[in-house]
């Protein structure tokens, strides 16, 4: 059975570019953890470094996690929302900034160890470029690769899941799609470095997420982590799971199961105006419904349909299975 988790900040106040203070109040961490623990199926949380946990608060946060019976699924280093990272982090042109980013990552490793967290989920959102002719694409990509390798090589007990996204906050991200992120992972060449698929990022990148899952699993079992959300395909809207891409999620669940993925199903959404807890609950209920309907018999039926490739029969099966 899947293990469900949530990025803790999804339950609090989320801000957009037009209202930096957000549309809701900010509950204290103990209230957010209580809400997470109350959601049916949620057994873990992801914590953003500096937002949710620091070296100074790690013991307190660890105690709160124990109190609510929650695991820390991953630490997400904040390589995206600090002023000092405005021109890049691990690939920044400025050597001092790159050094700061490496040291910050090492600090996140120590935080993860103290609360028995197995994974750092790395989204280097500021590592990329905005204009043509503005980036030494060879050198800056090499810095990103070398710095990830340097930190991961010193922490073989921690898994590093590289999360890709085609754009935002930069117009072009160095880790943009599943395949080019897998290439970097292969070049890094460490067993503890793999990939995180954020479904919404993949939709914006024009990917069929099911195929991305297969590629990562076929080339070394490198799918380390999953983030779930939905969008309309042109932007990372971070909406309730299944609100747009219903049939794609059927295929995603199929291939996660078929490929042997045994990691967490983590909710990563930005419910700007919706009730955060309600939005996460709706997402998990949707995924649980797909899992429940796609039982062993239906899974085998779908496998046969995929192999036959009769699209009319497949569409009829989808309607009769989920909407009859």
How distant, in Å, are the alpha carbons of 122, 203, 235, 274 from that of 167? 15, 12, 9, 25
Which residues, other chains included, contact 321 with Cβ-Cβ below 8 Å and sequence gap of 6+?
293, 298
CA separation for the pair 233, 231 (Å, rounded): 6
**Same domain membership, residue 247 and residue 301:** no
Using alpha carbons only, give the angle 248, 249, 255 rounded to the nearest 5 degrees: 95
**Same domain membership, residue 24 and residue 142:** yes
CA separation for the pair 14, 22 (Å, rounded): 6
**Same domain membership, residue 300 and residue 249:** no
**Same domain membership, residue 68 and residue 34:** yes
**Same domain membership, residue 177 and residue 55:** yes
- C-alpha dihedral (249, 251, 254, 259), degrees to nearest 10: -110
Half-sphere exposure of 228 (CA within 13 A, CB side): 32
- Per-residue burial over 255-269, b = 16 or more CB atoms within 10 Å of its CB, e = otherwise: bbbbbebebbbbbbb
What confidence score (pLDDT) does residue 26 get?
81
**Same domain membership, residue 279 and residue 313:** no
**Same domain membership, residue 247 and residue 300:** no
Instruction: Look up residue 53 and give its DSSP letter.
Output: B
Q: Cis bond leading into 169, ω under 30°?
A: yes
Instruction: Look up residue 86 and give its DSSP letter.
Output: T
Run of H or E residues at 42? strand 42-48
Question: In terms of Cα–Cα distance, which of 304, 229, 307, 318 is closest to 274?
Answer: 229
- Do the Cβ atoms of 46 and 121 come closer than 8 Å? yes
**Same domain membership, residue 309 and residue 170:** no
Domain residues for the domain of 309 are 295-324
Q: What is the C-alpha radius of gyration for the chain, rounded to an integer number of angstroms?
A: 20
Three-state DSSP class for residue 59: helix
Using alpha carbons only, give the angle 76, 141, 203 rounded to the nearest 5 degrees: 60
Q: What is the pLDDT along the chain (324 residues), one digit of tens a residue?
A: 899 999 999 998 788 778 777 887 888 899 999 999 999 999 999 999 988 999 999 999 999 999 999 999 999 999 999 999 999 999 999 999 999 999 999 999 999 999 999 999 999 999 999 999 999 999 999 999 999 999 999 999 999 999 999 999 999 999 999 999 999 999 999 999 999 999 999 999 999 999 999 999 999 999 999 999 999 999 999 999 999 999 999 999 999 999 999 999 999 999 989 999 999 999 999 999 999 999 999 999 999 999 999 999 999 999 999 997
What confidence score (pLDDT) does residue 15 get?
81
Give the distance, in angstroms, between the CA of residue 79 and the centroid of all CA atoms in the same chain.
14
CA separation for the pair 302, 55 (Å, rounded): 48
Question: In terms of Cα–Cα distance, which of 101, 120, 108, 100 is closest to 46?
Answer: 120
| Residue 114 backbone dihedrals phi, psi, to 5 degrees | -65, -25
**Same domain membership, residue 114 and residue 199:** yes
How distant, in Å, are the alpha carbons of 30, 118, 191, 293 from that of 226? 25, 14, 18, 21
What confidence score (pLDDT) does residue 258 get?
97
Half-sphere exposure of 3 (CA within 13 A, CB side): 13
Report the CATH number that the domain containing residue 61 is assigned in CATH.
3.20.20.150
Total domains present in the chain: 2
- Do the Cβ atoms of 178 and 207 come closer than 8 Å? yes
**Same domain membership, residue 144 and residue 232:** yes
- Do the Cβ atoms of 216 and 196 come closer than 8 Å? no
What confidence score (pLDDT) does residue 184 get?
98
Question: In terms of Cα–Cα distance, which of 262, 272, 213 is closest to 240?
Answer: 272
**Same domain membership, residue 99 and residue 185:** yes
What confidence score (pLDDT) does residue 243 get?
97
**Same domain membership, residue 15 and residue 160:** yes
Q: Tell me the torsion sign for CA atoms 256, 165, 232, 18.
A: positive
């Amino acid at each position: 059975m899947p293990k469900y988790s949530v990025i803790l900040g999804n339950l609090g106040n989320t801000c957009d570019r037009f209202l930096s203070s957000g549309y809701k109040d900010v509950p204290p961490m103990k209230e957010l953890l209580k809400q997470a623990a109350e959601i049916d199926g949620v057994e873990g949380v992801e914590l953003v470094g500096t937002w949710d946990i620091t070296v100074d608060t790690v013991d307190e946060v660890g105690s709160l996690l124990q109190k609510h019976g929650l695991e820390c699924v991953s630490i997400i280093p904040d390589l995206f929302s600090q002023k000092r990272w405005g021109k890049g982090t691990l690939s920044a042109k400025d050597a001092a900034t790159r050094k700061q980013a490496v040291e910050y990552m090492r600090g996140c490793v120590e935080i993860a160890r103290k609360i028995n967290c197995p994974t750092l989920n790395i989204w280097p959102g500021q590592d990329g470029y905005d204009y043509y002719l503005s980036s030494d694409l060879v050198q800056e990509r090499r810095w990103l690769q070398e710095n990830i390798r340097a930190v991961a090589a010193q922490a073989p007990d921690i898994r590093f899941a590289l999360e890709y996204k085609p754009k935002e906050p930069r117009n072009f991200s160095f880790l943009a799609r599943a395949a080019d992120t897998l290439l970097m992972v292969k070049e890094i060449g460490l067993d503890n470095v793999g990939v995180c698929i954020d479904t919404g990022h993949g939709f914006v990148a024009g990917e069929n997420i099911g195929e991305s899952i297969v590629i990562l699993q076929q080339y070394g079992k490198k799918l380390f982590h999953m983030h779930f959300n939905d969008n309309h395909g042109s932007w990372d809207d971070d909406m309730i799971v299944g609100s747009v891409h219903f049939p794609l999620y059927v295929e995603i669940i199929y291939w996660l199961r078929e490929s042997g993925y045994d990691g967490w199903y983590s909710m990563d959404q930005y419910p700007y105006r919706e009730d955060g807890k309600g939005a996460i609950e709706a997402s998990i209920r949707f995924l649980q419904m797909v899992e429940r309907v796609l039982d062993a018999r239906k899974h085998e039926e779908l496998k046969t349909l995929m192999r036959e490739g009769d699209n009319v029969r497949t569409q009829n099966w989808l309607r009769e299975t989920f909407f009859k």
